[in-house]
A and B are shown apart, each in its own frame.
Chain A
Amino acid sequence: EPEVTQTPSHQVTQMGQEVILRCVPISNHLYFYWYRQILGQKVEFLVSFYNNEISEKSEIFDDQFSVERPDGSNFTLKIRSTKLEDSAMYFCASSVTSSGANVLTFGAGSRLTVL
């Protein structure tokens, strides 16, 4: 069964450092997403991406965050200068369409710890 693959599975970084989280979505999917889950809190939507541009973003997704699809397979989330409160599990997801009735396939997550 096709999978969404995320790397690294766990990253520890110092506050103020840049972090790039990588995702390989399912190959025939066109829509890509990042969600995050701070420990003990809900899974929250960060951003959706289609046709090489952001289609929607939440208020969490400020100027510190960026996404790109640098090649035909990878989808990355960059945090420019990490803060303690960026510590969370980050989930990548992809889908065939953007219809609310469509199904997202999630990766296993990348746990980010900011010290």
Chain B
Amino acid sequence: AQSVTQPDIHITVSEGASLELRCNYSYGATPYLFWYVQSPGQGLQLLLKYFSGDTLVQGIKGFEAEFKRSQSSFNLRKPSVHWSDAAEYFCAVGEYGNKLVFGAGTILRVKS
């Protein structure tokens, strides 16, 4: 069965520091991969997606993610974190029919 693992439940970084959120997936075919962000009181907002092609994908708010098939990973990165990036981040893999399978989420705290 498809699954997504986000090994870090909480991460704290200083404002201006770089960020990497880890995501590993288990999926038999070529995966469709997504990162969503949820700020308090907000819905799940799409940050970026990978369907095919270039394995380094750019998203909104200065985020990027790299698909590594050999490691079954799709880690999210940002070179310099802003206080407004504090939120919960979800990695997901898309199945046919758009049934997304989500990871457990990583809560990002930004300290000034």
Q: Are both chains from one complex?
A: yes
Interface residues, chain A, CB within 8 Å of chain B? 4, 6, 31, 33, 35, 41-45, 48, 55-56, 58, 91, 93, 95, 98-109
Q: Give complex CA distance A12, B65 in Å.
A: 39
CB atoms of B44 and A99 under 8 A apart? no
Measured between C-beta atoms, what is the minimum distance from A112 to chain B in Å? Answer: 16
**Alpha-carbon distance between A3 and B40 when the two chains are bound, in angstroms:** 17
Contact check, B46 vs A45: say whether CB atoms are below 8 A apart. Answer: no
Report the separation of the CA atoms of residues A31 and B32 in the bound assembly, to the nearest whole angstrom.
18
Cα of A103 to Cα of B45 in the assembled complex, Å: 11
Residue tally, chain B, CB below 8 Å to A: 25
Q: Mark B32-75, 1 if CB is under 8 A from A, else 0.
A: 10101000011111100101000000000000000000000000
> For residue B100, which residues in chain A have a CB less than 8 angstroms away from its CB?
35, 43, 45, 104
